[in-house]
Amino acid sequence: MEKKDKIYEGKAKILYTTSDPDLLIQYFKDDATAFNAKKKGTIDEKGIMNNSISSKIFEYLGSNGIPTHLVKVLSEREMLVKRVTIVPVEVIIRNRAAGSLCRNYGAQEGKTLARPIFELCYKNDAFNDPLMNDDHVVALGLATEKELARIKELTHKINDLMKKFFLALNIELIDFKLEFGRYKGEIILADEISPDTCRLWEVGTGVRLDKDRFRNDLGNIKEGYQEVLKRVTGK
């Protein structure tokens, strides 16, 4: 598939058009940012690892009835994806307390939540991705009520599937972020699922295997991603 024009460059990925108007190439970079890009760096080969991890997870979700944008892996750093219109809402689901839940609500890190928290944030760096509720999303016209209901339904299913997937690899899924898009009238899962977008703790030891190693200067950053890659791909 021929790579044509660069249409978007984000913090971790670049999107290119292709000869097919319905398809894009998603290219994974090594750049890493945290705290709304106040902290910047690169993690050697992160793009290669995240392309591989994300495609494995999307394939698993796809084979379990979740519609996703993944068409196929093209190369080390590239996947072919369906061209969606992104719903400008970051969907976060939490199973245990970490990150902003602890900072904003005083929950103790690691606290098991009585039930998963479904959270919505406005995907807008200029406003610092503020937390929003269902009414904000619908009233501001970011998604319809029906689309939001579908997003919620898919997110809970994805959480159940991913918890099971990671537990089989001796990893606990603490929380993660999803992005959805519209494709031919349907809501589908887009973006990526990787250690950049999930908190992943090793069962038993609590060792962090995700971007918190970069955020919080825990060292062995690349090794965390490598460990997830090894377990996810079985290589």
Q: Does 92 bind ligand UDP (CB under 6 A)?
A: yes
DSSP for the chain, please give it: -----EEEE-SSEEEEE-SSTTEEEEEE-SEEEETTTTEEEE-TTHHHHHHHHHHHHHHHHHHTT--BSEEEE-SSSEEEEE--EEPSEEEEEEEE--THHHHHH-PPTTPEEEEEEEEEEE--GGGT--EE-HHHHHHTTSS-HHHHHHHHHHHHHHHHHHHHHHHTTTEEEEEEEEEEEEETTEEEEES--STTTEEEEETTT--B-STHHHHTT-S-HHHHHHHHHHHHH--
**Which of residues 87, 197, 213, 231 is near ligand UDP by CB under 6 A?**
197
Q: Which stretch binds ligand UDP (CB under 6 A): 23-31, 99-107, 138-146, 224-232?
A: 99-107
Instruction: State both tokens at 122.
Output: 């406005």
- Which residue, 78 or 175, has its beta carbon nearer to ligand UDP? 175
x/- mask, ligand UDP, residues 201-220, rule CB under 6 A, reads ----------x---------
- Which residue, 14 or 121, has its beta carbon nearer to ligand UDP? 121
Q: Does 12 bind ligand UDP (CB under 6 A)?
A: no
Q: Does 177 bind ligand UDP (CB under 6 A)?
A: yes
Asked if residue 32 lies in contact with residue 41, where contact means CB atoms within 8 angstroms, the answer is: yes
Q: Does 229 bind ligand UDP (CB under 6 A)?
A: no
Q: Does 191 bind ligand UDP (CB under 6 A)?
A: no
Q: Does 27 bind ligand UDP (CB under 6 A)?
A: no
x/- mask, ligand UDP, residues 116-135, rule CB under 6 A, reads -------------x------
Q: Which stretch binds ligand UDP (CB under 6 A): 71-79, 143-151, 170-178, 224-232?
A: 170-178
Q: Give the binding site for ligand UDP (CB under 6 A).
A: 90, 92, 98-101, 129, 175-177, 197-199, 211
